[in-house]
Amino acid sequence: MVLRSRLRTGLEGTSSYVHFYDAYNFGNHDYTDDEAVNAGHLDAKGAAKLTTRIDSIINTFP
């Protein structure tokens, strides 16, 4: 968790255009096996879910 916090602080501190989003969250996520090719890669269904989330986050920025 310390590394994730450092990454977030370090990356987001470099520019107001850089934002850190941890979709994996140490395995505490809601992606199912049906949405993945394997433990490290989403398939088209999972990618669509992630893309929707990223799009909604982007739309919160001015």
Task: Kindly report the number of other CB atoms within 10 A of residue 46's CB atom.
Answer: 18
- Indicate whether 1 pLDDT > 70: no
pLDDT digits (tens, 9 = 90+) for 3-59: 878 888 888 888 888 888 888 888 899 999 999 999 889 999 999 999 999 999 889
Determine the distance from the C-alpha atom of residue 38 to the mean position of all C-alpha atoms in its chain, rounded to a whole number. 17
Whose CA is closest to 25, among 9, 58, 1? Answer: 1
